[in-house]
Structure 1
Amino acid sequence: MRLAFALGLLLAAALAPARARVLGPDEAGFAECDAFFLGQTPPEGLPGPPSHLRVCQTYKQQPRFATLYSARDKVPVYAAFRYSEAAPSGEDAWLVEPQIDDPQNGSEDMMPESEITGSVENLGENQALMADYVDSGYERQLLNPSSLHKGDHQAATYTLTNAIPVPSDVRETWDWEVTNLVSRALAPHCENGKDLYLISGAIPSSVKVKDKVSVPESLWLAACCDDGAKAWSVAFEKQVAAGSRLKELPLKELEKQLSGEAQLFKEHCGQERNDPKAQEAVHQSAKEIEGEEPQAKQTPQQTTETKEESGFLMKLWGFFITPIVKLLQYICSFVWQLVQLICSMLWQAVRGLIQAVCTFLSGICGVLMSIFVNLVQAILCILNGIASSIYNILMLVYRLLSIPLNLLVDIICFPFYVLGAVPCVIHDIASGFGGLFLLLINAITNFAKGLSYVASCLLGWCLPKMSSEL
């Protein structure tokens, strides 16, 4: 069982190297794909319902670009990516994302539609499928062009969550315009794309392919170069219905068209540090490219069809080989579905066993912990009772002995109290006698003063009279 489960995981990793993680409502930003935004800050203030899904597109366990996907219109709202190096497009297998239609699917793999048909509930309810483009008059256009990348980055772009329906003439020009603008006008003025951040988006119209997938009214591209010291920004817009060329416009004007409160880059791409010289150089380079005629390229699918029509032998070879290839594909798909089913059943069984063991261990731990807590509480109550009893006994003994002790202390201290009071009494008696003596002296002195005063008065009265008689 373990061997089968391990083989299933290895087979899943080998057959589905492309992965996309649909972020939940409790997760902020685009997780590891925040690196594709300036300052790791996704655009803010864009209109749209809360049904928009944030998808971190990864390939071979490495983040490649970020997508905001509209489940209502079944087209991407925008794709944020970095420029690596322009390379010729080589069309890869188109993939769909099971999690968008079936969140309980549990798979983060982007897989071919034929391999998950029947195993994913409500497939196509929230995203476009290959059948939506068949005989529709519209072609799949990558919002994040594969021609701006190479290697694994390019292979990761071929997902229907990165595709929008456009007329054939728009598909022929969009890749050429974007590739040349980025590689020849933008990246050379930003250290070959080192500090260049790109966001391409689509504005849905009321027209829908097969009454399901919204045809974009216009396409837009926004670029921001910010090295921390200087910055410049530029934007481009393309009307789909008119088949017009990409036209340059200021970033603020594009944000105003999207929403009055839209902010595609953090701090509007460092508008306070705008470099006018670099801005003008980018404008001149973009103007030169806008003056060139787009070179319509033959898609890999058209090239294949041309090669198939080159001779009767190729057609005959395809006639015999195609059924065999289809049969092998169906067999591989069946085996893969069977392995997935077995792995799912094994995983459910193992998960149920783990949950049961965890529940059992949790119950045992809870009971043991409850017994331990109750035992500790009982011991503490006994110790508290013993301490209270000892305290009460000591207080009783103290109260019984406190009255005789106070009486004995007072009796013993009485003589000392008396002896201590004798000096105070003697001092008071001496003070009384001293005050009486001073009082007598004052009386005698005052009496002598009175006699001298009377004598002086008499002498003063007698002397004038005697002198008058003489």
Structure 2
Amino acid sequence: MWLSFSVVLIALAFPGLARGKVVGKGDAGFAECDGFFYQRAPPEGLALEEQGQVKICQKYNREPRFATLYSTRDKLPLYSAFRYTEEAAPSGEERWLVEPQIDDPENGLEGMMPEAEITGSVDNLGTNQALTADYVDSGYERGQLNPSSLHKDDTQIATYTLTNAVPMTPPLQEIWHWEIEALVSRGLAPHCENGKGLYLVSGVVPSSLRVKDKVAVPESLWLAACCDDGSKAWSVGFIKQVAAGNRLEDLTVEALEKKLPAGAQLFKNNCGQDRHDPKKLEEVLHSVKEIEADIPVQQAEKSATCDKTSTAKEESGFLKKLFYFIVTPIFKLLKFVFYLVGQIVKYIVHFLWHVIQMIVKGVFTFIKGIATALLNIFIDLARVAVNILNGIAKNIYNVLMITYRILSVPVNLLLDIVSFPFYTLGAIPAVLQDIASGVGGLCLLVIDAITNTVTNLNNVVSYLARKFLPKISSSA
């Protein structure tokens, strides 16, 4: 019991150790479990939101093992997609698990857990999924869609989950598991690189019959196989009508899809239809027919074994009921005590964690304040140093400018004195030119004066001559 309690605490503290994952509605596929589908494409036409379906990536020890589409309305898996690993005998230990998040998405448990260890800690447990109590004294067993006998080690353990189980009568369960195991291991895998390129999908068609008015009983069981080695491909389907007790019937995948909900397509591109090899498919069907011929004998042997087992069960049934009547109240009381202790420990851990966070936050704030103050001091010192250097530079500049101005006065005077002769000599030609221009102008003025004088005298003489000479000639 303490071990179970410890497992719950570990699961609460480390959700990454969970063995399954409910995929969000917004995700197109099955997250890490897409590799179990041919070309990573889940079947189409089977996932209907109005029927309350959830996608589960079944994981164990952090590794994906197979994928399941689960109906919360019928409380059974509609199909499970898986790969053939290696045939192995069951370990003998059946530790059935449930998926807490299907009933209580806010519980924080991100994967499957043993039902006995989470009862009381998960709200509405069993509202959307089947529980062990739904099968007790019902005449039905938990039949696996993905049989454990097709796997080994951790993958085999992962198949023991109620999200992989459907109600089957004991004879049906025995013959179904034998049929699937024989067909896959002896009829299909040997013709597909021993299962390396083999993709398998097994499912049910629910009926209106309910176990304890809760879990739907399958109307039919089916299996679809797709093999693609990269160069050639083939596919085959199987179906069993449960009510009629019929044998497993082999048929094409296309014919199988017509017996499922309208629009169903189990494999993308019909399992590489353009590369189908009829000869290879004929070999597969020949092996299947040989296995199907052995089924009636096996079925008779299983039925006889089941009859003997049922008689023994009836004899021990009263003792079991008496034992459960006495032990169950004690067990429930102990479970409640452990749950209460677990909750107390949980709250104490949360409280201590909160205190530690506050202390760490306070220390961080204190260190941050000291660091900020020291940084501001260094910044202010740097500013003061820069201002001092700037003042010194300005003073040096002013002194240099004054010195320059003082020294520039005699230098300019000396330059003027030295340049005076050159300015004087340079002015002589201009002066001589001006003197020559003045003398020339004077000469021109004298000439103009003489010319004007002569002209004027000539004009006077001419005038006098005109004035007096006519008179002299007329008087003669």
- Give me the TM-score of the superposition, normalised by structure 2: 0.65
CA shift in 2, pair 1:150/1:399, >3 Å: closer
Partner of 1:190: 192
| Sequence identity percentage | 46
Contact 1:137 1:167 survives alignment (8 Å): yes
Q: CA RMSD in A?
A: 5.0
CA shift in 2, pair 1:33/1:62, >3 Å: same
Partner of 1:85: 87
Tell me how far 1:286 sits from its aligned partner: 3.1
Contact 1:255 1:263 survives alignment (8 Å): no
- Which of 3, 6, 11 matches 1:9? 6
Tell me how far 1:362 sits from its aligned partner: 1.1
Partner of 1:43: 42
2:130 & 2:141 partners in 1: Cα distance? 13
CA shift in 2, pair 1:29/1:333, >3 Å: farther
- Structure with higher Rg: it is 2
Partner of 1:460: none
Deviations 1:429-469 (A, max 9, x none): xxxxxxxxxxxxxxxxxxxxxxxxxxxxxxxxxxxxxxxxx
Partner of 1:307: 312
1:28 & 1:360 partners in 2: Cα distance? 44
2:95 & 2:75 partners in 1: Cα distance? 19
CA shift in 2, pair 1:111/1:298, >3 Å: farther
Partner of 2:223: 221
Partner of 1:250: 253
Deviations 1:348-403 (A, max 9, x none): 21232022112221122123203312431343134224414532553465367448
Deviations 1:100-145 (A, max 9, x none): 32345555554356x6554542121110234545687866432123
Letter in 1 for 2:82: F
CA shift in 2, pair 1:64/1:350, >3 Å: same
After TM superposition, the structure 1 stretch with the greater mean CA deviation from structure 2, 396-405 or 96-105, is: 396-405
**1:235 paired to 2:237:** yes
The number of residue pairs the alignment matches comes to 409
2:55 & 2:413 partners in 1: Cα distance? 96
Letter in 2 for 1:246: E
Match of 1:122, SS state, is coil
Q: How does 1:282-361 map to 2 (within 5 A)?
A: 282-289=284-291, 294=296, 295-296=298-299, 297-298=302-303, 302-308=307-313, 315=315, 319=318, 323-324=322-323, 327-328=326-327, 331-332=330-331, 334-361=333-360
2:387 & 2:2 partners in 1: Cα distance? 66
Letter in 2 for 1:49: E
CA shift in 2, pair 1:6/1:321, >3 Å: closer
Query: Unaligned regions of 5+ residues in structure 2, if any?
Result: 11-16, 427-476
After TM superposition, the structure 1 stretch with the greater mean CA deviation from structure 2, 198-207 or 248-257, is: 248-257
Query: Unaligned regions of 5+ residues in structure 1, if any?
Result: 310-314, 426-470
Q: How does 1:104-253 map to 2 (within 5 A)?
A: 104-105=106-107, 108=111, 110-112=113-115, 117-133=119-135, 140-149=142-151, 154=156, 156-165=158-167, 171=173, 174-204=176-206, 208-209=210-211, 211-216=213-218, 218-227=220-229, 230-240=232-242, 245-250=248-253
Match of 1:298, SS state, is helix
